[in-house]
Amino acid sequence: MPRVLRSIPAPALAWVVLCAGALGAQPAPVNRYGNPPSVKPAPTTGAIDVRDLRIRLYQFADDSMQGRQVGRVGNRKGTDYIAAEVKRLGLLPGGPNGSYFQVLPYHLRRFTEHSRVAVNGNPLAWNVDVVAVPGLRAPRPILNAEVVYGGVQGDTSTQISAAEAAGKVVVLLPPPGGARASQGPGFQVRPGAQRARSRFDDAVAVATVDLDALTPAQRVAINEPAVATQIAAPRMAPAAAGGAGAVDSLPLLKDQLAQLQPQAALRLTRAGAAALFGRASLDGIAAGTKGGRLNAALEFVELPTDYARNVVAIIPGSDPVLKHQYVAIGAHNDHVGFTTPVDKDSVKAFNDIRNRMLLANNMEPLGPAQLATVKVNMDSIRRVHPKARLDSVNNGADDDGSGSMGVLEIAEAIMAMPVKPKRSTLFVWHTGEEGGLVGSAYYVRHPTVPIDSIVAQLNIDMIGRGRAEDLPGGGDDYVAVVGSFFDSKDLGETVQRVNTGQRRPLALDYKIDEPIAWAGYNNIYGRSDHYNYALQGIPIAFFFTGLHGDYHQRSDEPEFIDYPHYARITSYIKELAVEVGNGPRPRLNGTRPAKPKAIVP
């Protein structure tokens, strides 16, 4: 081999030879981590290796997946990929009704084209001069309600009183400089969240005059939400829930009513608003000015979506008895979606500098003064990328693309075993982890195998980084193991035994089993899906290579993953799953379910 080639590290060389040999073309440039900017889809093998993990992760964390947010089409794209792969690999469907999908009740809510808003019998142009903002439920009806000008949005000094607004349709003008256009005056509440009180709570509807700044398409989009949501039950009055002591439940009752039949939220153009008052314009209108009588037929529909799915698949065990028990392996298939576009290279540079500062600051949170000192050298970036490369997608390559694709590689490797583990292996790719462990909570409440037959759950969330530049103690051998001894000493010992039995054991880090004061590391144990299995008394082990500068950033991209390290951890967890699948059932430390140690820093 020519001397010049001997100096190139193996993985990069493989890449160079592959390209030069196969295509005779220029080898693709690789970054300082040895990763190319893109990787073409190609068949994978039964072996767990860098090539396969790259092929999978570059697809699963591609911009086209739109950050795989639960409730959005991006999550369907990601779960379609996983389901197609487990089907191709020959795993059995593990979801309800012989499907690979366990669909969560996420709906898109909107008002149909049959909706009407009219003042004194004169209709306003739907989706042009008036748009109704869909909330979580059908709003209370607007029947011949008097219109009143309520003042300036957000400026109570200009507004009418709650008594003057009660039972009316209140019209609000935006403050000078424009309204917080994104959200109407406090109507859509996040499921289960405490609703902010407003002096207009007793109004039949509140209309904000802020449509003129939007294009016709943007106006229609208000009523075409792209994010499906699931409804949480309205908060119960503590009395009803057996809470001790007399409470003033009237506000809570009103709160429940407001949640069960929310106030309508309307948005208007200035022309539409003027029509409500029978005026040519709103100029000079005084708070309390009365308008016409408003009637609205808002036809609210809830469209079920497949934008929130757990993917569930099974490899049956080889033992006629033990195959009725399951070793569960999981990861989360969602991430946080997309947001406003920024220059991807300066964001990456900023995040790298900030993380270096955090390490130098002993992982103590950085203050605004420190962060203000971060200077990104745009000249060096512009030398490589003369034009800004805009990026709006949170790709979630590490979080949790690495876990999801690692679990897929483990499935492929176990499928390739001539003799399968004695117990069955249950694979669950949970959705909605970023939304509060929603998918795993749903799975353990609607298990597709008897919950008592799950002997352990191995959870993987972020195993694609863990370099020395990412966290203290990071490196080629680094992996944190969390919670493995909490419920079952047997499982904890098996985790260690399998590791020491490997050709190159990993350096298992247990410090996150205890509270840790590093910035961003609060309650790691309670922040991923294993927690819901632990609450059911199932012994768990959680694998994690730590946070880093690109955590929940647009720069969490597949080309920044440490694939050799990632492949080693994935192979190790496969060995562990097989060992637990063949060995004695891990015994619980205490009675079932053992209350997990709540870790609050």
| Binding site residues, Zn ion, CB under 5 A | 399-400, 461
- Indicate the DSSP class of residue 378: H
Distances (CA, A) of 447 to 370, 434, 451: 48, 20, 6
Q: Which long-range contacts (CB under 8 A, 24 or more apart) does 66-69 make?
A: 66/337, 66/338, 66/393, 67/335, 67/336, 67/337, 67/338, 67/393, 67/394, 67/395, 67/396, 68/333, 68/334, 68/335, 68/337, 68/396, 69/227, 69/334, 69/335, 69/336, 69/337, 69/338, 69/434
Q: Which is nearer to Zn ion, 205 or 331 (CB)?
A: 331
User: 582, 567, 499: which is closest to 47 by C-alpha?
Assistant: 567
Strand, coil or helix: what is 361? coil
CB-CB contact of 481 with 542 (8 Å)? yes
Q: Which residues are 314's β-sheet partners?
A: 92, 426
Q: How near is the Cβ of 331 to Zn ion at its closest, in Å?
A: 8
CA 85 to chain centre: 22
Strand (E) or helix (H) holding 482: strand 478-482
Written as one string, the DSSP assignment of 30-85 is: --TTS--S--------SS--HHHHHHHHHHHTSGGGGGGBTTSHHHHHHHHHHHHH
Q: How near is the Cβ of 72 to Zn ion at its closest, in Å?
A: 17
Q: How near is the Cβ of 86 to Zn ion at its closest, in Å?
A: 21
Q: How near is the Cβ of 542 to Zn ion at its closest, in Å?
A: 11
Q: How near is the Cβ of 472 to Zn ion at its closest, in Å?
A: 20
Q: How near is the Cβ of 80 to Zn ion at its closest, in Å?
A: 20
Q: How near is the Cβ of 394 to Zn ion at its closest, in Å?
A: 11
Q: Which is nearer to Zn ion, 343 or 400 (CB)?
A: 400
C-alpha angle 339-343-349 in degrees, rounded to nearest 5: 110
Rg (CA), the chain: 28
Encoded tokens for 75: 């999550």
Q: How near is the Cβ of 598 to Zn ion at its closest, in Å?
A: 20
Q: How near is the Cβ of 434 to Zn ion at its closest, in Å?
A: 7
Q: Which is nearer to Zn ion, 399 or 550 (CB)?
A: 399
Cis peptide before 505 (omega within 30 of 0): no
Phi, psi (rounded to 5 degrees) for 203: -70, 150
Q: How near is the Cβ of 518 to Zn ion at its closest, in Å?
A: 17
Encoded tokens for 595: 């209350």
Work out the number of other CB atoms within 10 angstroms of the CB of residue 342.
17
